[in-house]
A and B are shown apart, each in its own frame.
Chain A
């Protein structure tokens, strides 16, 4: 309770000190920060719009009886063996099915698949996770713009972003793998071998852990700032 009281005191006493600081003044007027803030805002609203759109599509698919989901992309590896000998090059790429050698996404016609609407729930949950990450980052940037980057809640926000980003890569990788396994039987490519790779997106794991470390640095900075602010 006492600590919270002190924290509040800190914020009230500090705003004046921070405003007079030239370094933070320039941070507030930083163009890069402005661009980042607006970019985050636009991403946030676009993601929200996408989530609403997915919910509407799900509703139409599940209850409206109209099929709106016709295609989905699967992360699979398609390798042709003798197909170039039997088919002319222009026939290897059709409008509905575009198989490419190497790790590429195959556009797959799933309009005949009955449970398509139910399959969209997981991507929707993932999308909500992304929206939450952007929302947390948006609040973080807002505090930075208000000249209080060492807000007591910022380390928690950064840590949460870090954990979500770390977990996000493997979750997306595993989800894609599960989906590919479900829909692989719909792919009918003569003379081609299909593999389902499990990509764990190591870069996102590294990025997430980096954010967690930065959050810990912020935690120390918040404590140091509190000490500094309560030094008369």
Chain B
């Protein structure tokens, strides 16, 4: 998959744990884990909106396109 999810990087920058993010964005740990491990096939705009709001970042900070 050429799209890489840099959720762990953003979490480290904001010094936030996955559990904390899970509670704040109201998404299950299992689903966030899927996203973090880059296993997700798709991401809803509402999820992206919530994550960006909590982490105070842009979608581009979480998602990255890689040709490799």
User: Could you tell me which A residues sit within 8 Å of B by CB distance?
Assistant: 5-6, 9, 12-13, 16, 226-227, 230-232
Is the CB–CB distance between A16 and B41 below 8 Å?
no
Q: How far is the CB of A187 from chain B (nearest CB, A)?
A: 66
Q: How far is the CB of B68 from chain A (nearest CB, A)?
A: 16
Shortest Cβ distance from B28 into A: residue: A16
Cβ of B52 within 8 Å of any chain A Cβ, yes or no, is no
User: Could you tell me which B residues sit within 8 Å of A by CB distance?
Assistant: 27-28, 30-32, 34-35, 39-44, 47
Q: A interface, by DSSP: helix, strand, loop or mixed?
A: helix
Q: Which of B34, B43, B47 contacts A13 (CB 8 A)?
A: B34
Is the CB–CB distance between B34 and A9 below 8 Å?
yes
Q: Which of B30, B35, B39 contacts A16 (CB 8 A)?
A: B30
The 9 residue pairs across chains A and B that have the minimum distance between CB atoms: A230-B41, A231-B42, A13-B30, A232-B35, A232-B40, A232-B31, A232-B43, A230-B40, A232-B47
A9 vs B27: C-alpha distance when bound (angstroms): 16
Chain B positions within 8 Å of A13 at CB level: 28, 30-31, 34
Could you give 14 example pairs across A and B, Cβ below 8 Å? Answer: A6-B39, A13-B28, A13-B30, A13-B34, A226-B41, A230-B42, A231-B40, A231-B41, A231-B42, A231-B44, A232-B31, A232-B35, A232-B40, A232-B44
A227 vs B44: C-alpha distance when bound (angstroms): 12
